[in-house]
Amino acid sequence: MSATRPFGPLAAQVAMIGQGTWRSEEVAQTASIAALRRGLDLGLTHIDTAEMYGNGAAERIVGKAIAGRRDEVFLVSKVLPSHASRQGTIMACEATLRRLGTDRLDCYLLHWRGALPLCETIGAFEHLQQQGKILSWGVSNFDVADLDAVAAIAGPGHPVCNQVLYHLQERAIEHAVIPWCERQGTAVVAYTPFGTTPKIFDARSAGGSVLAAIAKYHAASARQVALRFLLRHRGSFAIPKAADARHVEDNAAALKLTLSAEELARIDAAFPLGKAPRSLPMI
């Protein structure tokens, strides 16, 4: 199975499993840099960061990790909603580029929708794109109404992606967000794909036992099985945290795993979709 797929409407082939950097600054810098570089060696060339992460510290770590290897990377960062006026977005992007030690981002996202008008943020994105400082733009934590608002302003092909919370115990985006993105050709990028609690992988639980059994059959790990389930939608990607080289190696091995329809059905039953929420979950 290919390790890459088109990123929304872009022609670029992007690694389906990437590397997230939220809280990477809380780990020894040498370990974070080593993990990111190991990921690049294994083809996890989609690296995600944000100005919010460690108040710029994560971007500096990424910059050190990709030094000399920038052309290998599909590099994504995010602007805070409080900075997302037209001029504020431009200034934030330029600061991000300095911290990353690069002249461009492959994709720049609005981290979540705030009080500032979307038309200002989108205007700044288009200006930055014309300057070559960003090659594409998207959003994060946007529900359907927010996505509709973006499309109404920017037109077809926008946003390029929507980065959202998605794991086996939080499948809310399957109700409406994923269908919207599939119709519009927008990539879906799953953050925190292993959830925030180890209970998902507890083999003593009903769901964990299913993951363990499928993993054993494939000589894989339960985490690899979980990642493959999330990637079953066309146009979907995942960015598990990359702060430990061993975890990065485990994540990369998921690209070699293929789950049968019967196995996907077993996982689906073990981790039920649940009712549609009133608002999109995010962390």
Active site residue 166: no
Q: How far apart are CA 201 and CA 226, in angstroms?
A: 9
Instruction: Give the active site residue among 53, 108, 166, 191.
Output: 53
- Residues with catalytic roles: 53
